[in-house]
């Protein structure tokens, strides 16, 4: 261990507070950490030096001993013949984890098998499938339970055994002088148990990566953004812990003819000018794949709406449907023949475009007249 002054190594005064010492150590440990300075022997040496200095000064008892005896406090026979603190090189990783792994001693806790992760799947369906509902199969990449070892991780399916090094505690205690330090058990990695005979297929994890096929049911009435939970179809938990869930998010595609607004369906249909004038019947497509006939009364204008009750979308988790609204669009004929033009001109001569036959025009010009009278 270096004989450089610990306060000098950390760049603080002997009167520095615990927070100042901690802050300085954190800055220097990040600077010289081996992961940031691979194959750099000088940085590795400085990292060990900084860690040893912090290990001594962060503890009130050790700091008091160092202030009184200096480096002799940490050598065998120091402190008036009593055993010292020993070498701190073995505790560098523990010290570093105090700051960057959630607090001192957190790494020594016995870990428990954790529940499997949840999975997400985006499903795109047509408007008609959203109306009827759908049963389908999906394939997702996932970790599944190893069938060779029955998810135990052991070749003989016996599962993990209690670690003989730590007796299942997940941590071991080492003593130096009159101080003892707890560390994660190096044999089991802090889990308290280990696989003695790992499965060759999953390498002892109890899981293998595989494309998984799942049967799913999409209920009628779903809409974009609907989330469907499929319990237990997520990734498997570690060593027998529960599976996660699969969450399927629905996106409903736009339809070429029909437009959805909540539980209602809207459709715009073109009608000929003669049908609009004389009236008639037209067929319209409905969401259930059938056709409905509606009567067009004489004199129907564009943007006239007709309502078909209970012909709209299925409503999620309810045994009823919304309505369907049909909006007319009167189509003006193009590419007329000479005779057709002549007939229309004759129609106009007969008063076909007079105010009595054009209610919208009559109302429009009436409003213009009222505005003009108000101005003058």
Enter the tokens of residue 164. 């003989």
Tokens of 94: 């523990």
Whether residue 353 is contained in a domain is answered as yes
> What is the number of other CB atoms lying within 10 angstroms of the CB of residue 112?
11
Last residue of a domain, one of 253, 270, 292: 253
What's the pLDDT band for 108 if we cut at 50, 70, 90? very low
Question: How many structural domains are present in the chain?
Answer: 3
Lowest-confidence range among 202-206, 285-289, 369-373?
369-373
pLDDT at site 62: 84
Same domain, 121 and 242: yes
What pLDDT is recorded for position 366? 59
Q: Examine the fold and report which residue of 104, 139, 155 is the final residue of a domain before the chain moves on.
A: 104
Residue 224 lies in a domain: yes
The pLDDT score that the predictor gives to residue 338 is 93
Residues 143 and 273 in one domain: no
Please identify which residue in the block is written with the tokens 């259930």.
288
**Domain hosting residue 209, numbered range:** 109-147+205-253
Residue 140 has pLDDT above 70, yes or no: yes
Residues 240 and 351 in one domain: no
Burial bucket for residue 303 (CB in 10 Å: 0-12, 13-18, 19+): exposed
CA separation for the pair 155, 203 (Å, rounded) = 9
Residues with Cβ within 8 Å of residue 306, at least 6 apart in sequence? 294, 325, 326, 327, 328
d(CA 69, CA 74): 9
30 lies in some domain: yes
**247 and 126 share one domain:** yes
Classify burial at 331, counting beta carbons within 10 Å of its beta carbon; exposed 0-12, middle 13-18, buried 19 or more. middle
Span 214-233, pLDDT tens digits? 999 999 999 999 999 999 88
Final residue of a structural domain among 195, 224, 253: 253
> Do residues 14 and 67 make contact, with C-beta atoms less than 8 angstroms apart?
yes
Residue 141 has pLDDT above 60, yes or no: yes
What's the average model confidence in pLDDT over 60-80?
70
Are residue 291 and residue 341 in the same domain, yes or no? Answer: yes
CATH number of 291's domain? 2.60.260.20
Do 246 and 268 belong to one domain?
no
Q: Please write down the HEC assignment for all residues of the chain.
A: CCCCCHHHHHCCCCCCCHHHHHHHHHHHHHHHCCCCCCCCHHHHHHHHHHHHHHHHHCCHHHHHHHHHHHHHHHCCCCCCCCCCCCCCHHHHHHHHHHHHCCCCCHHHCCCCCCCCCCEEEEEEECHHHHHHCEEEEEEEEEEEECCCCCCCCECCCCCCEECCCCCCCCEEEEEECCEEEEEECCCCCCCCEECCCECCCCCCCCEEEEEEEEEEEECCCCCCCCEEEECCCCCCCHHHCCCCCEEEEEEECCCCCCEEECCEEEEEEEEEHHHHHHCEEEEEECCCCCEEEEEECCCCCCCCEEEECCCCCECCCCCCECCEEEEEEEECCCCCCHHHHHHHHHHHHCCCCCHHHCHHHHHHHHHHHHHHHHHC
Question: What's the rounded Cα separation, in Å, for the pair 236 and 151?
Answer: 9
Asked whether residue 83 is domain-assigned, the answer is yes
pLDDT in tens, 228-269: 999 988 887 766 678 889 999 999 999 999 999 999 999 999
58 plus 128 within the same structural domain: no
pTM for the predicted model, two decimal places = 0.52
According to the model, what pLDDT value does residue 115 have? 80
CATH number at residue 33: 1.10.287.110
- How do residues 314-362 score in pLDDT, each as one tens digit? 999 999 999 999 999 999 989 999 998 898 888 888 776 555 566 665 5
> What is the pLDDT at residue 264?
96
Instruction: Based on the fold, state whether residues 60 and 117 are members of the same structural domain.
Output: no
Is the model's pLDDT at 96 over the cut of 60?
Answer: no
Min mean pLDDT across 153-162, 282-291, 345-354 is at 345-354
Q: How many residues does the chain have?
A: 376
Same domain membership, residue 242 and residue 351: no
For residue 167, being part of any structural domain is answered with: no
Regarding whether 213 and 141 lie in a shared domain, the answer is yes
Q: Is there a single domain that holds both residue 60 and residue 129?
A: no
265 plus 240 within the same structural domain:
no
Contact 248, 230 (CB under 8 A): yes
CA 178/CA 149 separation, integer angstroms: 46
Structure-model confidence comparison of residues 39 and 319, the more confident one: 319
The answer as to whether 93 is a domain residue is yes
Residue 212 has pLDDT above 50, yes or no: yes
Q: Would you say residue 117 has pLDDT above 90? A: no
Does 66 map to a domain?
A: yes
Whether 227 maps to a domain, the answer reads: yes
Instruction: State the pLDDT confidence band at 77, using cuts at 50, 70 and 90.
Output: very low
121 pLDDT more than 60: yes
The phi and psi torsions of 243 (rounded to 5 degrees) equal -75, 155
pLDDT averaged over every residue in the chain: 80
């Amino acid at each position: 261990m270096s004989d450089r002054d610990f306060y000098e190594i950390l760049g603080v005064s002997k009167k520095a507070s615990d927070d100042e010492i901690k802050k300085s150590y954190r800055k220097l440990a990040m600077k010289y950490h081996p992961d940031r300075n691979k194959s750099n022997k000088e940085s590795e040496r400085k990292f060990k030096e900084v860690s040893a200095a912090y290990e001594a000064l962060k503890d009130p008892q050790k700091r008091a001993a160092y202030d009184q005896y200096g480096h002799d406090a940490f050598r065998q026979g120091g402190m008036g013949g009593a055993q010292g603190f020993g070498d701190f090189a073995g505790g560098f990783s523990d010290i570093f984890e105090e700051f960057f792994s959630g607090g001192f001693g957190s790494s020594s806790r016995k870990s428990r098998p954790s529940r499997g992760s949840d999975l997400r799947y985006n499903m795109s369906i047509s408007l008609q499938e959203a109306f009827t509902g759908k049963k389908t199969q999906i394939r997702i990449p996932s970790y599944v339970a190893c069938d060779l070892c029955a998810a135990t991780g052991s070749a003989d399916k016996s599962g993990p055994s209690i670690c003989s090094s730590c007796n299942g505690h997940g941590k071991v205690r080492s003593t130096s002088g009159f101080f003892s330090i707890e560390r994660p058990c190096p044999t089991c990695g802090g889990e308290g148990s280990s696989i003695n005979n790992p499965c060759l297929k999953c390498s002892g994890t109890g899981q293998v990566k595989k494309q998984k096929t799942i049967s799913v049911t999409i209920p009628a009435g779903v809409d974009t953004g609907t989330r469907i939970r499929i319990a237990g179809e997520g990734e498997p938990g570690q060593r027998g812990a529960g599976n996660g869930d699969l969450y399927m998010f629905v996106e409903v595609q736009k339809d070429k003819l029909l437009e959805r607004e909540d539980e209602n369906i809207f459709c715009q249909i073109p009608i000929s000018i003669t049908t609009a004038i004389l009236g008639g019947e037209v067929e319209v497509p409905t969401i259930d794949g059938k056709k409905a006939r509606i009567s067009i009364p004489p004199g129907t204008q564009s943007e006239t709406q007709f309502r078909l009750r209970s012909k709209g979308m299925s409503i999620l988790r309810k045994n009823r449907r919304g309505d369907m609204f049909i909006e007319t669009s009167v189509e003006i004929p193009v590419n007329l023949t000479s005779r057709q033009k002549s007939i229309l001109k004759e129609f106009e001569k007969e008063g076909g475009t007079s105010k009595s036959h054009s209610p919208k025009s009559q109302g429009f010009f009436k409003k213009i007249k009222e505005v003009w009278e108000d101005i003058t």
